Structure 1
Protein backbone atom coordinates (compact mmCIF):
# COMPACT_ATOMS: atom_id res chain seq x y z
CA UNK A 1 0.00 0.00 0.00
CA UNK A 2 1.46 3.34 -1.01
CA UNK A 3 2.02 6.09 1.56
CA UNK A 4 -0.23 9.16 1.51
CA UNK A 5 1.03 12.28 -0.25
CA UNK A 6 2.49 14.87 2.13
CA UNK A 7 3.69 17.57 -0.31
CA UNK A 8 2.33 18.77 -3.64
CA UNK A 9 4.41 21.16 -5.77
CA UNK A 10 2.32 22.60 -8.58
CA UNK A 11 3.49 24.65 -11.59
CA UNK A 12 6.32 26.30 -9.67
CA UNK A 13 8.31 28.99 -11.50
CA UNK A 14 10.95 31.55 -10.56
CA UNK A 15 11.73 34.62 -12.61
CA UNK A 16 14.06 37.55 -12.14
CA UNK A 17 12.89 40.27 -14.51
CA UNK A 18 12.85 38.77 -17.99
CA UNK A 19 15.01 35.79 -16.97
CA UNK A 20 13.21 32.55 -16.08
CA UNK A 21 15.30 30.29 -13.85
CA UNK A 22 12.85 27.38 -13.85
CA UNK A 23 9.29 26.89 -14.99
CA UNK A 24 6.52 24.31 -14.74
CA UNK A 25 8.06 22.38 -11.82
CA UNK A 26 5.65 19.72 -10.55
CA UNK A 27 6.32 16.86 -8.12
CA UNK A 28 5.02 15.23 -4.96
CA UNK A 29 6.55 13.78 -1.80
CA UNK A 30 4.87 10.91 0.02
CA UNK A 31 4.98 10.40 3.77
CA UNK A 32 8.28 8.77 4.72
CA UNK A 33 9.78 9.18 1.24
CA UNK A 34 13.38 10.28 0.62
CA UNK A 35 13.68 12.36 -2.57
CA UNK A 36 16.92 13.78 -3.99
CA UNK A 37 17.14 16.46 -6.66
CA UNK A 38 20.19 16.73 -8.93
CA UNK A 39 21.09 19.28 -11.56
CA UNK A 40 23.83 21.65 -12.66
CA UNK A 41 24.46 24.93 -10.84
CA UNK A 42 22.02 27.64 -11.84
CA UNK A 43 19.01 25.41 -12.51
CA UNK A 44 17.23 26.55 -9.33
CA UNK A 45 17.53 23.57 -6.97
CA UNK A 46 18.23 25.69 -3.88
CA UNK A 47 15.46 28.11 -4.80
CA UNK A 48 13.01 25.19 -4.94
CA UNK A 49 14.19 24.00 -1.51
CA UNK A 50 13.89 27.53 -0.10
CA UNK A 51 10.32 27.76 -1.43
CA UNK A 52 9.51 24.43 0.26
CA UNK A 53 11.03 25.82 3.46
CA UNK A 54 9.00 29.03 3.19
CA UNK A 55 12.19 31.10 3.05
CA UNK A 56 11.59 32.36 -0.50
CA UNK A 57 8.56 33.08 -2.66
CA UNK A 58 8.11 31.57 -6.12
CA UNK A 59 7.10 33.85 -8.98
CA UNK A 60 4.14 31.58 -9.69
CA UNK A 61 2.85 28.19 -8.65
CA UNK A 62 2.05 26.67 -5.28
CA UNK A 63 3.43 24.34 -2.62
CA UNK A 64 0.98 22.47 -0.42
CA UNK A 65 2.00 20.48 2.64
CA UNK A 66 -0.65 18.33 4.30
CA UNK A 67 -3.22 20.22 2.16
CA UNK A 68 -2.15 23.63 3.49
CA UNK A 69 -0.28 26.10 1.30
CA UNK A 70 3.27 26.92 2.35
CA UNK A 71 3.54 30.71 2.69
CA UNK A 72 6.38 31.05 5.20
CA UNK A 73 8.74 29.16 7.53
CA UNK A 74 7.29 26.66 9.99
CA UNK A 75 8.50 24.22 12.60
CA UNK A 76 6.87 21.34 10.73
CA UNK A 77 9.81 21.72 8.31
CA UNK A 78 13.42 21.28 9.43
CA UNK A 79 16.25 22.67 7.30
CA UNK A 80 19.94 21.71 7.21
CA UNK A 81 22.22 23.80 4.99
CA UNK A 82 25.76 23.09 3.81
CA UNK A 83 27.03 25.36 6.58
CA UNK A 84 26.08 24.08 10.03
CA UNK A 85 24.65 27.49 11.18
CA UNK A 86 25.29 26.75 14.86
CA UNK A 87 25.38 29.60 17.37
CA UNK A 88 29.08 29.69 18.36
CA UNK A 89 28.49 30.97 21.89
CA UNK A 90 26.25 28.02 22.79
CA UNK A 91 27.18 24.42 23.51
CA UNK A 92 25.83 21.47 21.51
CA UNK A 93 23.19 20.92 24.20
CA UNK A 94 22.18 24.59 24.19
CA UNK A 95 22.05 24.88 20.38
CA UNK A 96 19.64 21.98 20.09
CA UNK A 97 17.66 22.97 23.21
CA UNK A 98 17.02 26.38 21.64
CA UNK A 99 15.26 24.70 18.71
CA UNK A 100 13.36 22.26 20.94
CA UNK A 101 12.04 25.08 23.15
CA UNK A 102 10.88 26.91 20.02
CA UNK A 103 8.77 23.89 19.07
CA UNK A 104 7.52 23.05 22.57
CA UNK A 105 7.69 26.22 24.74
CA UNK A 106 5.56 24.58 27.42
CA UNK A 107 8.06 21.76 28.05
CA UNK A 108 10.01 21.55 31.29
CA UNK A 109 13.79 21.79 31.33
CA UNK A 110 13.99 18.03 31.93
CA UNK A 111 11.77 17.29 28.91
CA UNK A 112 13.84 19.56 26.67
CA UNK A 113 17.09 17.99 27.84
CA UNK A 114 15.78 14.46 27.29
CA UNK A 115 14.84 15.36 23.72
CA UNK A 116 18.28 16.89 23.14
CA UNK A 117 20.11 13.87 24.51
CA UNK A 118 17.98 11.46 22.45
CA UNK A 119 18.95 13.01 19.12
CA UNK A 120 22.56 13.77 20.02
CA UNK A 121 22.95 10.08 20.84
CA UNK A 122 21.41 9.17 17.48
CA UNK A 123 24.18 11.07 15.66
CA UNK A 124 26.89 9.64 17.92
CA UNK A 125 27.87 12.81 19.78
CA UNK A 126 26.80 12.07 23.34
CA UNK A 127 30.37 12.63 24.59
CA UNK A 128 30.37 16.16 23.14
CA UNK A 129 27.11 17.51 24.51
CA UNK A 130 28.66 20.36 26.45
CA UNK A 131 31.28 21.43 23.92
CA UNK A 132 31.01 24.57 21.83
CA UNK A 133 31.19 24.46 18.01
CA UNK A 134 34.79 25.72 18.04
CA UNK A 135 35.76 22.47 19.80
CA UNK A 136 34.20 20.25 17.12
CA UNK A 137 35.36 19.09 13.70
CA UNK A 138 33.43 20.02 10.56
CA UNK A 139 31.73 16.63 10.45
CA UNK A 140 30.71 16.89 14.10
CA UNK A 141 29.22 20.35 13.55
CA UNK A 142 27.17 19.02 10.66
CA UNK A 143 25.94 16.14 12.81
CA UNK A 144 24.81 18.66 15.42
CA UNK A 145 22.90 20.52 12.69
CA UNK A 146 21.21 17.27 11.66
CA UNK A 147 20.40 16.40 15.28
CA UNK A 148 18.91 19.86 15.78
CA UNK A 149 16.69 19.46 12.71
CA UNK A 150 15.50 16.00 13.79
CA UNK A 151 14.96 17.10 17.40
CA UNK A 152 11.98 19.28 16.47
CA UNK A 153 10.44 16.20 14.84
CA UNK A 154 9.50 17.92 11.57
CA UNK A 155 7.09 16.36 9.13
CA UNK A 156 9.56 17.16 6.36
CA UNK A 157 13.34 17.55 6.47
CA UNK A 158 15.01 19.77 3.85
CA UNK A 159 18.72 19.20 3.20
CA UNK A 160 20.76 21.56 0.99
CA UNK A 161 23.96 19.66 0.16
CA UNK A 162 24.63 19.09 3.86
CA UNK A 163 27.72 16.92 3.28
CA UNK A 164 29.24 18.83 0.36
CA UNK A 165 32.12 20.34 2.36
CA UNK A 166 33.07 17.12 4.16
CA UNK A 167 35.74 14.58 3.30
CA UNK A 168 34.62 11.27 1.81
CA UNK A 169 35.02 9.19 4.98
CA UNK A 170 33.12 11.65 7.19
CA UNK A 171 30.43 12.03 4.54
CA UNK A 172 29.97 8.27 4.38
CA UNK A 173 29.65 7.97 8.15
CA UNK A 174 26.98 10.68 8.32
CA UNK A 175 25.12 9.19 5.36
CA UNK A 176 24.89 5.90 7.26
CA UNK A 177 23.61 7.68 10.37
CA UNK A 178 21.06 9.61 8.33
CA UNK A 179 19.75 6.38 6.81
CA UNK A 180 19.37 4.83 10.26
CA UNK A 181 17.52 7.83 11.67
CA UNK A 182 15.21 8.09 8.67
CA UNK A 183 14.40 4.38 8.89
CA UNK A 184 13.68 4.68 12.62
CA UNK A 185 11.55 7.83 12.35
CA UNK A 186 10.01 7.32 8.88
CA UNK A 187 11.15 10.84 8.08
CA UNK A 188 10.13 12.56 4.84
CA UNK A 189 13.22 14.12 3.24
CA UNK A 190 13.88 16.43 0.28
CA UNK A 191 17.61 16.75 -0.42
CA UNK A 192 19.82 18.59 -2.89
CA UNK A 193 23.01 16.80 -3.88
CA UNK A 194 25.60 16.84 -6.65
CA UNK A 195 26.81 13.37 -5.68
CA UNK A 196 25.27 10.64 -7.86
CA UNK A 197 26.29 7.82 -5.50
CA UNK A 198 24.85 9.70 -2.54
CA UNK A 199 21.52 10.01 -4.34
CA UNK A 200 21.48 6.30 -5.22
CA UNK A 201 22.27 5.35 -1.61
CA UNK A 202 19.73 7.62 0.05
CA UNK A 203 16.84 8.32 -2.31
CA UNK A 204 13.65 6.50 -3.14
CA UNK A 205 13.25 8.79 -6.16
CA UNK A 206 15.74 11.09 -7.89
CA UNK A 207 14.53 14.25 -9.64
CA UNK A 208 16.77 15.27 -12.55
CA UNK A 209 16.70 18.93 -13.52
CA UNK A 210 17.54 20.17 -17.00
CA UNK A 211 19.90 23.12 -17.25
CA UNK A 212 18.67 26.69 -16.98
CA UNK A 213 17.42 29.05 -18.13
CA UNK A 214 13.85 27.75 -18.14
CA UNK A 215 15.01 24.68 -16.28
CA UNK A 216 12.54 21.94 -15.47
CA UNK A 217 12.38 18.53 -13.88
CA UNK A 218 13.00 16.49 -17.01
CA UNK A 219 13.19 12.99 -15.52
CA UNK A 220 12.23 11.23 -12.31
CA UNK A 221 14.25 8.09 -11.66
CA UNK A 222 12.65 5.55 -9.35
CA UNK A 223 15.27 3.79 -7.25
CA UNK A 224 14.18 0.16 -7.41
CA UNK A 225 17.12 -1.17 -5.38
CA UNK A 226 16.36 -2.72 -2.00
CA UNK A 227 15.54 -0.09 0.64
CA UNK A 228 17.94 -1.68 3.14
CA UNK A 229 20.90 -1.08 0.80
CA UNK A 230 24.24 -0.24 2.40
CA UNK A 231 27.08 1.94 1.20
CA UNK A 232 29.68 -0.84 1.44
CA UNK A 233 27.76 -3.27 -0.78
CA UNK A 234 25.87 -0.85 -3.03
CA UNK A 235 28.00 -1.56 -6.10
CA UNK A 236 27.25 -5.30 -5.93
CA UNK A 237 23.56 -4.76 -6.71
CA UNK A 238 22.84 -5.57 -10.40
CA UNK A 239 20.75 -2.39 -10.70
CA UNK A 240 23.48 -0.09 -9.37
CA UNK A 241 25.48 0.52 -12.56
CA UNK A 242 22.47 0.90 -14.90
CA UNK A 243 21.00 3.53 -12.54
CA UNK A 244 24.34 5.25 -12.02
CA UNK A 245 25.15 5.28 -15.73
CA UNK A 246 21.76 6.75 -16.50
CA UNK A 247 22.23 9.58 -13.97
CA UNK A 248 25.74 10.39 -15.17
CA UNK A 249 24.62 10.31 -18.80
CA UNK A 250 21.84 12.75 -17.98
CA UNK A 251 24.17 15.19 -16.23
CA UNK A 252 26.92 14.99 -18.83
CA UNK A 253 24.92 14.74 -22.05
CA UNK A 254 21.17 15.22 -21.89
CA UNK A 255 20.55 17.90 -19.23
CA UNK A 256 21.63 20.65 -21.63
CA UNK A 257 19.01 19.66 -24.22
CA UNK A 258 15.95 19.14 -22.04
CA UNK A 259 14.97 22.62 -20.87
CA UNK A 260 11.53 23.97 -21.81
CA UNK A 261 11.30 24.54 -25.52
CA UNK A 262 13.75 21.74 -26.33
CA UNK A 263 12.52 18.31 -27.34
CA UNK A 264 13.23 15.39 -24.97
CA UNK A 265 14.94 12.26 -26.29
CA UNK A 266 11.78 10.21 -25.67
CA UNK A 267 9.03 12.83 -25.99
CA UNK A 268 5.75 12.15 -24.17
CA UNK A 269 2.48 13.43 -25.55
CA UNK A 270 2.43 17.16 -24.85
CA UNK A 271 -0.44 19.53 -25.45
CA UNK A 272 0.67 22.78 -27.12
CA UNK A 273 1.45 25.59 -24.72
CA UNK A 274 1.85 23.34 -21.67
CA UNK A 275 5.15 22.41 -19.97
CA UNK A 276 6.62 19.07 -20.92
CA UNK A 277 5.93 16.52 -18.16
CA UNK A 278 8.84 14.72 -16.56
CA UNK A 279 9.64 11.19 -17.69
CA UNK A 280 9.39 8.62 -14.91
CA UNK A 281 12.14 6.03 -15.31
CA UNK A 282 12.33 2.77 -13.37
CA UNK A 283 14.92 -0.01 -13.52
CA UNK A 284 14.04 -3.61 -12.84
CA UNK A 285 16.44 -6.40 -11.98
CA UNK A 286 17.18 -7.38 -15.61
CA UNK A 287 17.66 -4.28 -15.93
CA UNK A 288 15.32 -2.85 -18.55
CA UNK A 289 14.15 0.74 -18.44
CA UNK A 290 10.45 1.43 -18.03
CA UNK A 291 9.36 4.90 -19.08
CA UNK A 292 6.18 6.80 -18.34
CA UNK A 293 5.30 10.44 -17.71
CA UNK A 294 4.57 12.25 -14.46
Structure 2
Protein backbone atom coordinates (compact mmCIF):
# COMPACT_ATOMS: atom_id res chain seq x y z
CA UNK A 1 0.00 0.00 0.00
CA UNK A 2 1.61 3.34 -1.09
CA UNK A 3 2.40 5.78 1.70
CA UNK A 4 0.74 9.19 1.59
CA UNK A 5 3.58 11.72 1.48
CA UNK A 6 1.90 15.12 0.95
CA UNK A 7 -1.50 16.45 2.03
CA UNK A 8 -2.83 19.77 0.70
CA UNK A 9 -5.83 20.97 2.71
CA UNK A 10 -8.10 23.93 1.91
CA UNK A 11 -5.39 25.93 0.16
CA UNK A 12 -6.31 29.46 -0.95
CA UNK A 13 -4.43 32.49 -2.28
CA UNK A 14 -5.74 36.04 -2.24
CA UNK A 15 -4.30 39.38 -3.31
CA UNK A 16 -6.50 41.97 -1.62
CA UNK A 17 -10.05 41.26 -2.73
CA UNK A 18 -8.92 39.11 -5.67
CA UNK A 19 -9.10 35.36 -5.00
CA UNK A 20 -6.71 33.43 -7.27
CA UNK A 21 -7.73 29.95 -6.08
CA UNK A 22 -9.74 28.61 -3.20
CA UNK A 23 -10.48 25.30 -1.52
CA UNK A 24 -7.65 23.35 -3.18
CA UNK A 25 -7.37 19.82 -1.74
CA UNK A 26 -5.31 16.87 -2.97
CA UNK A 27 -2.67 14.36 -1.85
CA UNK A 28 0.49 12.81 -3.27
CA UNK A 29 1.69 9.32 -2.42
CA UNK A 30 5.31 8.12 -2.32
CA UNK A 31 6.64 7.43 -5.83
CA UNK A 32 3.68 9.07 -7.58
CA UNK A 33 4.00 11.40 -10.58
CA UNK A 34 1.25 14.06 -10.57
CA UNK A 35 0.77 16.72 -13.26
CA UNK A 36 -1.41 19.80 -12.91
CA UNK A 37 -2.95 21.49 -15.96
CA UNK A 38 -5.00 24.67 -16.29
CA UNK A 39 -5.20 27.95 -18.14
CA UNK A 40 -2.86 30.83 -17.30
CA UNK A 41 -3.90 32.73 -14.18
CA UNK A 42 -5.49 29.82 -12.33
CA UNK A 43 -2.64 29.67 -9.79
CA UNK A 44 -0.67 26.56 -10.78
CA UNK A 45 2.75 28.13 -10.18
CA UNK A 46 1.58 29.66 -6.90
CA UNK A 47 0.49 26.21 -5.70
CA UNK A 48 3.90 24.79 -6.65
CA UNK A 49 5.67 27.67 -4.87
CA UNK A 50 3.62 27.01 -1.73
CA UNK A 51 4.61 23.32 -1.88
CA UNK A 52 8.24 24.41 -2.28
CA UNK A 53 7.95 26.76 0.72
CA UNK A 54 8.82 29.76 -1.48
CA UNK A 55 5.44 31.44 -1.04
CA UNK A 56 2.81 31.52 1.71
CA UNK A 57 -0.82 30.62 1.08
CA UNK A 58 -3.51 32.98 2.38
CA UNK A 59 -5.18 30.04 4.10
CA UNK A 60 -4.97 26.27 4.21
CA UNK A 61 -2.14 23.88 4.97
CA UNK A 62 0.51 21.75 3.26
CA UNK A 63 1.86 18.75 5.16
CA UNK A 64 4.80 16.65 4.02
CA UNK A 65 5.54 13.47 5.93
CA UNK A 66 3.10 14.75 8.58
CA UNK A 67 5.04 17.98 9.12
CA UNK A 68 3.67 21.33 7.96
CA UNK A 69 5.64 23.03 5.19
CA UNK A 70 6.69 26.45 6.49
CA UNK A 71 9.60 27.34 4.20
CA UNK A 72 12.11 25.93 1.69
CA UNK A 73 13.78 22.63 2.52
CA UNK A 74 16.23 20.22 0.93
CA UNK A 75 13.67 17.41 1.06
CA UNK A 76 12.06 19.24 -1.88
CA UNK A 77 13.93 19.79 -5.14
CA UNK A 78 12.70 22.44 -7.59
CA UNK A 79 13.30 22.83 -11.33
CA UNK A 80 11.98 26.07 -12.83
CA UNK A 81 11.19 27.06 -16.43
CA UNK A 82 14.60 28.69 -16.60
CA UNK A 83 17.65 26.61 -15.68
CA UNK A 84 18.70 28.94 -12.80
CA UNK A 85 22.35 27.86 -13.05
CA UNK A 86 25.17 29.99 -11.69
CA UNK A 87 26.93 31.15 -14.88
CA UNK A 88 30.39 31.45 -13.32
CA UNK A 89 30.41 27.80 -12.21
CA UNK A 90 30.87 24.65 -14.29
CA UNK A 91 28.28 21.88 -14.46
CA UNK A 92 30.26 19.96 -11.83
CA UNK A 93 30.46 22.99 -9.53
CA UNK A 94 26.78 23.94 -9.93
CA UNK A 95 25.64 20.50 -8.84
CA UNK A 96 28.34 20.16 -6.17
CA UNK A 97 27.09 23.38 -4.57
CA UNK A 98 23.65 21.79 -4.06
CA UNK A 99 25.09 18.48 -2.86
CA UNK A 100 27.32 20.25 -0.33
CA UNK A 101 24.29 22.14 1.00
CA UNK A 102 22.51 18.83 1.65
CA UNK A 103 25.50 16.96 3.08
CA UNK A 104 28.00 19.54 4.47
CA UNK A 105 29.93 16.79 6.25
CA UNK A 106 30.75 14.93 3.03
CA UNK A 107 34.30 14.81 1.73
CA UNK A 108 35.19 16.15 -1.71
CA UNK A 109 35.41 12.64 -3.17
CA UNK A 110 31.88 11.77 -1.97
CA UNK A 111 30.47 14.99 -3.40
CA UNK A 112 32.16 14.45 -6.75
CA UNK A 113 30.90 10.85 -6.95
CA UNK A 114 27.34 12.06 -6.31
CA UNK A 115 27.71 14.76 -8.97
CA UNK A 116 29.07 12.35 -11.58
CA UNK A 117 26.32 9.80 -10.87
CA UNK A 118 23.49 12.21 -11.66
CA UNK A 119 25.26 13.96 -14.54
CA UNK A 120 25.64 10.53 -16.13
CA UNK A 121 21.92 9.80 -15.58
CA UNK A 122 20.97 12.81 -17.70
CA UNK A 123 23.60 11.98 -20.33
CA UNK A 124 25.90 14.96 -19.76
CA UNK A 125 29.17 13.40 -18.60
CA UNK A 126 31.16 14.93 -21.51
CA UNK A 127 29.99 18.42 -20.40
CA UNK A 128 30.94 17.99 -16.74
CA UNK A 129 33.50 20.80 -16.72
CA UNK A 130 31.76 23.19 -19.10
CA UNK A 131 30.09 26.42 -18.03
CA UNK A 132 26.40 27.16 -18.81
CA UNK A 133 27.37 29.55 -21.64
CA UNK A 134 28.88 26.57 -23.46
CA UNK A 135 25.67 24.50 -23.27
CA UNK A 136 22.47 24.44 -25.32
CA UNK A 137 19.11 25.24 -23.71
CA UNK A 138 18.23 21.55 -23.45
CA UNK A 139 21.57 20.73 -21.83
CA UNK A 140 21.09 23.50 -19.26
CA UNK A 141 17.70 22.07 -18.33
CA UNK A 142 19.28 18.63 -17.93
CA UNK A 143 21.82 20.14 -15.53
CA UNK A 144 18.95 21.67 -13.55
CA UNK A 145 17.24 18.28 -13.37
CA UNK A 146 20.49 16.54 -12.37
CA UNK A 147 21.06 19.13 -9.63
CA UNK A 148 17.55 18.59 -8.26
CA UNK A 149 17.92 14.80 -8.27
CA UNK A 150 21.44 14.93 -6.79
CA UNK A 151 20.16 16.14 -3.41
CA UNK A 152 17.85 13.07 -3.38
CA UNK A 153 14.70 14.98 -2.41
CA UNK A 154 11.59 13.20 -1.21
CA UNK A 155 9.58 15.32 -3.65
CA UNK A 156 10.57 16.92 -6.94
CA UNK A 157 8.70 20.06 -8.08
CA UNK A 158 8.83 20.90 -11.79
CA UNK A 159 7.47 24.19 -13.16
CA UNK A 160 7.10 23.64 -16.91
CA UNK A 161 10.80 22.75 -17.23
CA UNK A 162 10.55 21.78 -20.91
CA UNK A 163 8.25 24.56 -22.13
CA UNK A 164 10.94 26.53 -23.99
CA UNK A 165 12.58 23.51 -25.64
CA UNK A 166 12.08 22.22 -29.17
CA UNK A 167 9.96 19.07 -29.55
CA UNK A 168 12.92 16.73 -30.19
CA UNK A 169 14.89 17.90 -27.15
CA UNK A 170 11.78 17.90 -24.97
CA UNK A 171 11.01 14.30 -25.94
CA UNK A 172 14.56 13.17 -25.13
CA UNK A 173 14.49 14.77 -21.67
CA UNK A 174 11.01 13.37 -20.98
CA UNK A 175 12.36 9.89 -21.66
CA UNK A 176 15.32 10.47 -19.33
CA UNK A 177 13.03 11.84 -16.62
CA UNK A 178 10.83 8.74 -16.83
CA UNK A 179 13.86 6.45 -16.52
CA UNK A 180 15.27 8.30 -13.50
CA UNK A 181 11.89 8.43 -11.74
CA UNK A 182 11.37 4.70 -12.32
CA UNK A 183 14.86 3.92 -10.97
CA UNK A 184 14.60 6.18 -7.90
CA UNK A 185 10.82 5.88 -7.22
CA UNK A 186 10.77 9.67 -7.12
CA UNK A 187 7.64 11.58 -6.07
CA UNK A 188 6.99 14.37 -8.60
CA UNK A 189 4.57 17.31 -8.84
CA UNK A 190 4.77 18.98 -12.25
CA UNK A 191 3.09 21.91 -13.99
CA UNK A 192 2.55 21.50 -17.72
CA UNK A 193 0.44 23.01 -20.51
CA UNK A 194 1.12 19.98 -22.73
CA UNK A 195 -1.68 17.41 -22.61
CA UNK A 196 0.44 14.70 -24.24
CA UNK A 197 3.27 15.33 -21.80
CA UNK A 198 0.87 14.86 -18.89
CA UNK A 199 -0.47 11.59 -20.34
CA UNK A 200 3.06 10.29 -20.88
CA UNK A 201 4.45 11.20 -17.47
CA UNK A 202 1.64 11.33 -14.91
CA UNK A 203 -0.09 8.73 -12.78
CA UNK A 204 -2.78 11.33 -12.01
CA UNK A 205 -3.62 14.63 -13.71
CA UNK A 206 -5.14 17.52 -11.73
CA UNK A 207 -7.39 19.76 -13.84
CA UNK A 208 -7.71 23.35 -12.65
CA UNK A 209 -10.86 25.34 -13.40
CA UNK A 210 -10.38 28.93 -14.54
CA UNK A 211 -10.21 31.85 -12.13
CA UNK A 212 -11.39 33.83 -10.35
CA UNK A 213 -11.53 31.47 -7.39
CA UNK A 214 -10.00 28.66 -9.40
CA UNK A 215 -9.99 25.16 -7.95
CA UNK A 216 -8.93 21.61 -8.74
CA UNK A 217 -12.16 20.53 -10.44
CA UNK A 218 -11.16 17.02 -11.56
CA UNK A 219 -8.45 14.48 -10.84
CA UNK A 220 -8.00 12.17 -13.82
CA UNK A 221 -6.43 8.77 -13.13
CA UNK A 222 -4.10 7.66 -15.92
CA UNK A 223 -5.21 4.09 -16.57
CA UNK A 224 -2.55 3.40 -19.21
CA UNK A 225 0.31 1.04 -18.41
CA UNK A 226 3.02 2.70 -16.34
CA UNK A 227 5.76 1.46 -18.69
CA UNK A 228 4.24 3.49 -21.56
CA UNK A 229 6.64 4.80 -24.18
CA UNK A 230 6.45 8.12 -26.01
CA UNK A 231 6.86 6.49 -29.44
CA UNK A 232 3.97 4.05 -28.97
CA UNK A 233 1.69 6.16 -26.75
CA UNK A 234 -0.83 6.93 -29.50
CA UNK A 235 -1.30 3.23 -30.30
CA UNK A 236 -2.87 2.52 -26.92
CA UNK A 237 -6.70 2.47 -27.25
CA UNK A 238 -6.99 4.45 -23.98
CA UNK A 239 -4.83 7.31 -25.26
CA UNK A 240 -7.48 9.20 -27.24
CA UNK A 241 -10.09 8.57 -24.56
CA UNK A 242 -7.91 10.28 -21.95
CA UNK A 243 -6.65 12.97 -24.31
CA UNK A 244 -10.15 13.91 -25.49
CA UNK A 245 -11.31 14.19 -21.88
CA UNK A 246 -8.44 16.55 -20.99
CA UNK A 247 -8.87 18.70 -24.11
CA UNK A 248 -12.64 18.88 -23.63
CA UNK A 249 -12.08 20.09 -20.07
CA UNK A 250 -9.61 22.79 -21.11
CA UNK A 251 -11.62 23.99 -24.12
CA UNK A 252 -15.16 23.77 -22.73
CA UNK A 253 -15.66 22.91 -19.07
CA UNK A 254 -12.83 24.74 -17.27
CA UNK A 255 -14.56 28.10 -17.68
CA UNK A 256 -17.76 26.92 -15.96
CA UNK A 257 -16.37 24.89 -13.06
CA UNK A 258 -14.50 27.51 -11.00
CA UNK A 259 -15.90 28.26 -7.56
CA UNK A 260 -16.43 31.88 -8.57
CA UNK A 261 -18.77 30.79 -11.38
CA UNK A 262 -20.55 27.94 -9.65
CA UNK A 263 -23.12 29.38 -7.23
CA UNK A 264 -25.08 26.12 -6.98
CA UNK A 265 -22.89 24.15 -4.56
CA UNK A 266 -23.91 20.71 -3.25
CA UNK A 267 -25.58 20.90 0.19
CA UNK A 268 -22.76 19.00 1.88
CA UNK A 269 -20.29 21.76 0.96
CA UNK A 270 -20.09 24.62 3.46
CA UNK A 271 -20.57 28.16 2.08
CA UNK A 272 -17.29 29.66 0.91
CA UNK A 273 -15.65 26.34 0.10
CA UNK A 274 -15.25 24.87 -3.37
CA UNK A 275 -16.55 21.36 -4.02
CA UNK A 276 -14.06 18.51 -3.66
CA UNK A 277 -12.54 17.54 -7.03
CA UNK A 278 -14.19 14.68 -8.86
CA UNK A 279 -11.88 11.69 -9.39
CA UNK A 280 -12.25 10.44 -12.95
CA UNK A 281 -11.02 7.13 -14.33
CA UNK A 282 -11.64 6.88 -18.06
CA UNK A 283 -12.09 3.12 -17.78
CA UNK A 284 -15.38 3.90 -16.03
CA UNK A 285 -16.13 7.20 -17.87
CA UNK A 286 -16.25 6.19 -21.56
CA UNK A 287 -15.68 9.01 -24.01
CA UNK A 288 -16.12 8.74 -27.80
CA UNK A 289 -12.74 8.16 -29.39
CA UNK A 290 -12.15 11.02 -31.81
CA UNK A 291 -8.99 12.86 -32.72
CA UNK A 292 -8.47 16.44 -31.52
CA UNK A 293 -6.08 18.34 -33.73
TM superposition score category, shorter chain reference: over 0.9
Q: Specify the alignment match of 1:62 in structure 2.
A: 61
Q: Give the TM-score of the pair, scaled to structure 1.
A: 0.95
CA distance in 2, matches of 1:271, 1:8: 20
Once the two structures are overlaid, the 10-residue window that deviates more, 169-178 or 273-282, is: 273-282
Instruction: Determine helix, strand or coil for the equivalent of 1:146.
Output: helix
User: Deviations for 1:124-158, whole angstroms, at most 9, x for unmatched residues?
Assistant: 00001000000000000000000000000000000
- Taking a change above 3 Å as real, the CA distance of residues 287 and 26 of structure 1, as seen in their structure-2 partners, is closer
- Taking a change above 3 Å as real, the CA distance of residues 281 and 287 of structure 1, as seen in their structure-2 partners, is closer
User: Deviations for 1:154-194, whole angstroms, at most 9, x for unmatched residues?
Assistant: 00000000000000000000000000000000000000000
Q: Specify the alignment match of 2:213 in structure 1.
A: 214
Q: Specify the alignment match of 2:225 in structure 1.
A: 226
Q: Size of the alignment, in residue pairs?
A: 286
RMSD: 1.5
Q: Give the TM-score of the pair, scaled to structure 2.
A: 0.95
Q: Specify the alignment match of 1:25 in structure 2.
A: 24
1:256 aligns with 2:241: no
CA distance in 2, matches of 1:143, 1:35: 20
Q: How does 1:4-83 map to 2 (within 5 A)?
A: 4-83=3-82
Question: Given that residues 270 and 277 in structure 1 are in contact (C-alpha distance below 8 angstroms), is that contact kept between their aligned partners in structure 2?
Answer: no
CA distance in 2, matches of 1:171, 1:184: 20
Instruction: Determine helix, strand or coil for the equivalent of 1:107.
Output: coil
- Taking a change above 3 Å as real, the CA distance of residues 230 and 268 of structure 1, as seen in their structure-2 partners, is farther
CA distance in 2, matches of 1:11, 1:56: 16
- Taking a change above 3 Å as real, the CA distance of residues 112 and 196 of structure 1, as seen in their structure-2 partners, is same
Once the two structures are overlaid, the 10-residue window that deviates more, 18-27 or 269-278, is: 269-278
Question: Given that residues 85 and 144 in structure 2 are in contact (C-alpha distance below 8 angstroms), is that contact kept between their aligned partners in structure 1?
Answer: yes
Q: Specify the alignment match of 2:201 in structure 1.
A: 202
Question: Given that residues 211 and 260 in structure 2 are in contact (C-alpha distance below 8 angstroms), is that contact kept between their aligned partners in structure 1?
Answer: no
Q: Specify the alignment match of 1:271 in structure 2.
A: 269
- Taking a change above 3 Å as real, the CA distance of residues 143 and 264 of structure 1, as seen in their structure-2 partners, is farther
Deviation at 1:283, TM superposition (A): 1.7
Q: Specify the alignment match of 2:97 in structure 1.
A: 98
- Moved beyond 4 Å, runs of 4+: none
1:282 aligns with 2:272: no
CA distance in 1, matches of 2:109, 2:186: 25
Question: Given that residues 268 and 277 in structure 1 are in contact (C-alpha distance below 8 angstroms), is that contact kept between their aligned partners in structure 2?
Answer: no
- Taking a change above 3 Å as real, the CA distance of residues 34 and 269 of structure 1, as seen in their structure-2 partners, is farther
Q: Specify the alignment match of 2:290 in structure 1.
A: none
CA distance in 1, matches of 2:241, 2:266: 22
CA distance in 1, matches of 2:35, 2:145: 17
CA distance in 2, matches of 1:216, 1:51: 15
Q: Specify the alignment match of 2:87 in structure 1.
A: 88
CA distance in 1, matches of 2:14, 2:177: 34
Question: Given that residues 22 and 44 in structure 1 are in contact (C-alpha distance below 8 angstroms), is that contact kept between their aligned partners in structure 2?
Answer: yes
Deviation at 1:277, TM superposition (A): 1.1
Deviation at 1:236, TM superposition (A): 0.5
Instruction: Determine helix, strand or coil for the equivalent of 1:162.
Output: coil
